[in-house]
Amino acid sequence: MTAGRFDGRRALVTGGLSGIGLATARLLLERGAAVAVLDRGGSAPDGALANALRVTCDVRDEPAVRSAVADAAEALDGPPDVLVNAAGIYRVAPFDALSTDEWDDVFDINLRGTFFVAREVAVRLRAAGIGGSIVNLASEAGLVADLTEPATHYNASKAGVIALTKQLAVELAADGIRVNAVAPGPIDTPMLTMMQDPVSGQAWLDAHVPLRRVGTADEVAEVILFLASDLASYVTGATLPVDGGATTL
């Protein structure tokens, strides 16, 4: 296996039926990995993941996550040694208008779900004596605030993902399991809302993103695969912005 290939690797991608998760699962398949996609429902467009195993699961449900990871490990003939935690939701609301249920919903999926899946995969890798790589989906919102689209619950959940990534990297290093995160900026996925008005959206990009455009899910997927690959063998505990330079301003 060359450093950038995934032949012989077993990958599990959560939220793998759309957006960055779909792009990542597709790229892993193209680069030789056996891939299981964990998602709570829906279908991939145009049979894009025809060669991937589908596991239906709500990442908020701890017993369901345990069962889903077990099913994926059995189907892949071993525990996933690549985990991409891409399941997540984006909600916008001023902090003083947030209900407790809205706060909990975002945290349960973005942070609690990431923890549940990472724990189940790591436990299985440890038991098998196998190293691996976990890449979590954070966000630029976990690094900087945004007055134009206030989302206290989302920002806090993604800051939690960054802290979780660092702590898991420390605790799992001795087991040969690397844990990193990517922090996407404005990416052309179903969660992007700012470009619904192209004129105001482009004005915002011109003012806040040095590259002056939205990114693509494929661009984020390439960075995820770098972090998961042997090319990043000395990288752990890092959060890499993929944001067109937005967090530099």
Catalytic residue among 6, 103, 116, 154: 154
CB 200 within 8 A of CB 186: no
Sign of CA dihedral 41, 44, 50, 53: negative
- Measured distance CA(150)–CA(23) in Å, rounded: 27
SS3 77: coil
Residue found by looking up tokens 């060669």 in the block: 51
Alpha helices in 7-93 (DSSP H): 19-30, 62-75
Q: How many CB atoms sit inside 10 A of residue 105's CB? A: 16
Q: List the one residue out of 101, 123, 87 whose CA is nearest residue 13.
A: 87
Q: What angle do CA 233, 239, 244 make, to 5 degrees?
A: 110
SS3 215: strand
In the residue annotation, 90 being an active-site residue is answered as: no
- Bridge partners of 134? 83, 179
Q: List the one residue out of 158, 88, 164, 174 whose CA is nearest residue 125.
A: 174
What are 154's two structure tokens? 């989302």
Catalytic residues: 154
